[in-house]
Amino acid sequence: MKQKKFFTFENAILLLLLFFLIGFATGCLRQDPMEARVDSLVEELGNEDTNISSAALNALIDIGEPAVPSLILALTAKEAPVRERSALILGRIEDKRAVEALSKTLSDPDPKVRGAAVNALCNIETNETTKLLIPLLQDEDEEVVLLVVSALGKLKGEGAASALLEIMDHDNQEVRKNIIYSLKQIGDPVASEALLELFSDKELGEIAASAFSNYNFMDPQTSEILMELLKSKDPTVRANAVRALGNKEDETVITLFIKLLEDPDSEVRKEVIYQLGVFGIQKSPGVEKALPPLIKTLNDRDKEVQIAAVTALGRIGDDAAVLPLIPLLENKDRKLREAAINALGQIGDPQAGAALRDRLKAEELWSARRAMIRALVNIGDPEAVETLITLLEDRHYRVRQSAAMELGKLRAEEAVEALLKALETERESEVRSAEVYALRNIGDPRAFETLRKISRDQDEYYCVRLAARESLKELEAASPSESTALV
Amino acid sequence: MKNKKLILIFAVLLTLTLSLLWPFESEIDVKIVEIQTPPLGAQIPEKLTMVLQNNESKPVDVWVDIENAFVDENKISYPTSRIIISENSTHPWDVDFVSFQKPITLQPGNNSIKARLGYSLPGKYELKIKVTEDSRLIDSASHTLEILPPKLSLKLEAEKFDWPELDLGNEVELYGIYGYILNYSPSRAKDLRTNLSVRDEKTGKTVFTASEVYYVEAYDKTPLWIWPDYPYALIEISRSGTSDKTYMPVQNVIRGKPGDVFRVNVSSEWENQKVFAEILVPIAEERNVKNEKEARNL
């Protein structure tokens, strides 16, 4: 029998043909470059080198939508970090196709993965998200519970407030704090009673009181209860009731607060004064009634209450407070002195000008001298420019900086020579920049030459050189004839 | 038999032609026509600008890869992660941040693209830019960059220092020494080991040394003080020469007697670059004035 030859010409041709056809087909069927990139990046999510896994994570967030199918698959990967990072990325991409897979991930054995799924679902947000997350309030891991609590606050979904109230007695204080924050965000009146009950809690009471800044809680009945709580025997409850009522701009509340200025507890007095100051900023009707009792409080036995009263008087901004505040400029307590300077500046009555200038010479505290600069400018003191010019030589750089800045704001032409002189010796970069910008604001042509010199000086601070360049550009644009004359 | 062979040869030739032509049939006409970089400094991120010319009549999607866009202090190279692309040359202000993880859409005509660059150390670097479409290389270009090293200098100044809060009276004279490290290059200099050494000119002995690490930004200067407004070092001249006064926050305090002259030397070192400055305190003019006064009194 004749043996059939395999290496015939025809077979060789057929093999060659087959080879090219396979090549051609491979070319046609090769993986899309995007898919290939996504797959390799998903693989790198599990890399032990966090630089690499983070880079892959960011790259996948950048890719966005095309990466979603691969990331959904990765939610069931063996390695927990890959599942966690995939959930995180899906949350950032916010593609609704991932909701179903992420819902399943809520029962992942690893708490970090469950936590990432909670955040992701919160970001994607559908009508069902709140319902999906509520069961996880019973999670064994406290970090997961914390994430769910915060997520429910953000989502403000139906039934969330009641579910949060059910775990209000949680063992973890952080969880309890976050429940209050979330209840505040949700603003469901169903939580009012529980929040009021917390007022006696030394740590949580203040947070619970702050929840009443959400007006949903402030119905007439709750307001009544809060006013009653002002009479509580517990000073913590009284102070928290003040905090909560501070959100209610009402003459009745102001009258009640004025009475509480006599409260035996200094914390309550301080809180009442603070709230009256806030009413002062808001120019609430009836706040002027608080002026005489607040002025009286300047002599309170507690230093912090005194400081609060000074601040409140500044916020109310009535001229009647100026004369009682002036003696405080000489007070030994630096905080009280600074509060008085700031208050006088806020009130803005020129009567205080002379007293501030007199005190300036003796004041040792640089921050107080700086506050005086602002106060003098605020009240529009006629001798402010002269005073500021002398302060360009102050021993503290922050004072010199403020003086230069204010001279610029005042566009004080009489300060140009002093600013130019100061630039000859000033060593501090921030002060030099302030002086340059002051010269720009004043816009006097006498400054052109110095600014030009600074802008070219290689031994100058970079920021000052830049300030001079910018200033020159602006000044030259504003007055081209002056600038070219000096070149 | 012959016909069969001819058919086979024809089929092979046809397949060969198809296979060879297939990769080229859909290649797009995109060229890198311009690459520009500003003066670059070490540790200062900058941008590279390149112009990609799309000669097609329709928008095309390409991938851009830049090798050696970032090189760390261990000479490890990283590609840049983001680029900025303008829609087309007629609307260059219409820019958008585009991820390198996605293809970039090039409009017909010139497309200006900016990419971030950063180098930890001075030296020469070769950028390799590749434009690909579906893994096929469309165009590539190389661009060599030179990162200049910091150009450092030191400056010292001394003057009489007045400290009214301390109530020093007439018995103590203070001289404040101020110093600056200047950098005239686009490169930032980190970890500048700076040494202060003070020598008594009479005895020739070194009486004080201190060391500190500073850094200086590109085209900037760094004051050597520890606290703004306070000198880098203080020279206290008192009758006893051993006053126990403290001058916080100034830590470099050198104590001497009237008539003492100190040579203050400061040196700063970065890689293999060393700069120094020297000053005599009290400065010559003050010493002369003092000598004249003393002569008159005699």
In a domain, A208, yes or no: no
A196-200, A363-367, B12-16 — which is least confidently predicted? B12-16
The pLDDT value given to residue A286: 84
| pLDDT tens sequence across A199-212 | 999 999 999 999 98
The pLDDT of residue B94 is above 70: no
Q: Is residue A401 part of a domain?
A: yes
Predicted pLDDT at A174: 94
Clarify whether residues B223 and B257 are in a common domain. yes
Please say which residue of B147, B162, B188 terminates a domain: B147
Interface mutation vs chain B, best among A399, A461, A466, most B CBs within 10 Å: A461
Residue A474 domain flag: yes
pLDDT at B154: 96
| Structural domains counted in chain B | 2
Residues B124 and B216 in one domain: no
Question: Which of B123, B147, B171 finishes a domain?
Answer: B147
Could you read off the pLDDT of B108-153 as tens digits, one per residue?
999 888 887 888 889 999 999 999 887 789 999 999 999 999 999 9
> In the listed set B96, B126, B147, which residue is the last one of a domain according to the structure?
B147
CATH number of domain containing A441:
1.25.10.10
Domain count of the fold of chain A: 1
| Contact list, A9 vs chain B (CB under 8 Å) | 5
On whether residue B62 sits in a domain, the answer given is: yes
Give the per-residue SS3 of chain A: CCCCCCCCHHHHHHHHHHHHHHHHHHHHHCCCHHHHHHHHHHHHCCCCCHHHHHHHHHHHHHHCHHHHHHHHHHCCCCCHHHHHHHHHHHHHHCCHHHHHHHHHHCCCCCHHHHHHHHHHHHHHCCCCHHHHHHHHHHCCCHHHHHHHHHHHHHHCCCCHHHHHHHCCCCCCHHHHHHHHHHHHHHCCHHHHHHHHHHHHCCCCHHHHHHHHHCHHHCCHHHHHHHHHHCCCCCHHHHHHHHHHHCCCCCHHHHHHHHHHCCCCCHHHHHHHHHHHHHHHHCCCCCHHHHHHHHHHHCCCCCHHHHHHHHHHHHHHCCHHHHHHHHHHHHCCCHHHHHHHHHHHHHHCCHHHHHHHHHHHHHCCCHHHHHHHHHHHHHCCCCCHHHHHHHHCCCCCHHHHHHHHHHHHHCCCHHHHHHHHHHHHHCCCHHHHHHHHHHHHHHCCHHHHHHHHHHHHCCCCCHHHHHHHHHHHHHHHHHCHHHHHHHC
In a domain, A484, yes or no: yes
CATH number, domain of B140, equals: 2.60.40.10
Model pLDDT, residue B226: 83
Distance CA B267, CA B281 (A): 17
Do B46 and B158 lie in a common domain? no
**CB-closest option in B16, B23, B102 to A63:** B102
Contacts of B217 in chain A (CB under 8 A): 462
The mean-pLDDT minimum among A10-19, A445-454, B9-18, B289-298 falls in: B289-298
Residues B237 and B291 in one domain: yes
**Interfacial residues of B (vs A; Cβ cutoff 8 Å):** 4-5, 8-9, 11-12, 15-16, 18-19, 22-23, 63, 81, 99-103, 132, 134-135, 155, 164-165, 178, 180, 182, 184, 217-221, 223, 228-229
Tell me if A226 is assigned to some domain: no
- Chain A CB contacts of B102 under 8 Å are 34, 62-63
Instruction: Give the mean pLDDT of chain A.
Output: 90
Query: A245-253, long-range: CB within 8 Å, 24+ apart, which pairs?
Result: A245/A212, A245/A275, A246/A274, A246/A275, A246/A278, A246/A279, A247/A212, A247/A213, A247/A215, A247/A218, A248/A218, A248/A223, A249/A279, A249/A282, A249/A284, A251/A285, A251/A286, A252/A227, A253/A227
- The interface pTM score, or ipTM, of the predicted complex is 0.78
pLDDT for residue B163: 80
> Are A462 and B228 inside 8 Å of each other by CB?
no
The yes-or-no verdict on residue A486 having pLDDT over 50 is no
Q: Which of A9, A70, A427 to mutate to test the interface with B (most CBs of B within 10 A)?
A: A427
Q: Do B182 and A58 touch (CB under 8 A)?
A: no
Mean pLDDT of A269-292: 91
Interface test with B, best of A8, A11, A17, A400 (most B CBs within 10 A): A17
| Residue B166 forms part of a structural domain | yes
B160 and B137 part of one domain: no
Whether B18 is covered by a domain: the verdict is no
Residue A458 to residue B217, Cβ atoms within 8 A: no
Are the Cβ atoms of A59 and B99 closer than 8 angstroms?
Answer: yes
The model's pLDDT over B250-268, given as tens digits with 9 standing for 90+, comes to: 999 999 988 899 999 999 9
- pLDDT value at A28 more than 60: no
pLDDT band at B285 (very low <50, low <70, confident <90, very high): low
The answer to whether B229 contacts A21, with C-beta atoms less than 8 Å apart, is no
Same domain, B218 and B101: no
> Which residue in the set A63, A430, A459 is minimally distant from B221, CB to CB?
A459
The answer to whether A17 contacts B15, with C-beta atoms less than 8 Å apart, is yes
One domain for residues B275 and B290: yes
Give which of A92, A400, A424, A462 to mutate to test B binding, by max B Cβ within 10 Å. A462
**Out of A60, A62, A397, closest to residue B228 by CB:** A397
User: How does residue B86 score in pLDDT terms, banded at 50, 70 and 90?
Assistant: very low
B184 to chain A: which residues are within 8 Å by CB?
Answer: 458
Question: For residue B17, what pLDDT is reported?
Answer: 66
In a domain, A112, yes or no: no
Residues B84 and B181 in one domain: no
Whether pLDDT at A365 is above 80: yes
**Confidence class of residue B87 from pLDDT cuts 50, 70 and 90?**
very low
Same domain, B31 and B114: yes
B56 plus B101 within the same structural domain:
yes
Predicted pLDDT at A184: 94
Q: Is residue B6 part of a domain?
A: no
B84, amino acid identity: I
The predicted pLDDT at position B53 comes to: 93
**Domain span at residue B63?**
27-147
Indicate if the pLDDT at residue A3 is higher than 60. no
Question: Is A357 inside any structural domain?
Answer: no
Same domain flag for B106 and B178:
no
For residues B175 and B282, state if they share a domain. yes
Identify whether B12 is part of a domain. no
- Which pLDDT does position A250 carry in this prediction? 81
User: Cβ B134–A24 below 8 Å, yes or no?
Assistant: no
Q: What is the pLDDT of residues A234-274, one digit of tens each?
A: 999 999 999 999 888 788 899 999 999 999 999 999 999 99
**Domain span holding position A440:** 396-487
Counted across chains A and B, CB pairs separated by less than 8 A come out at 81
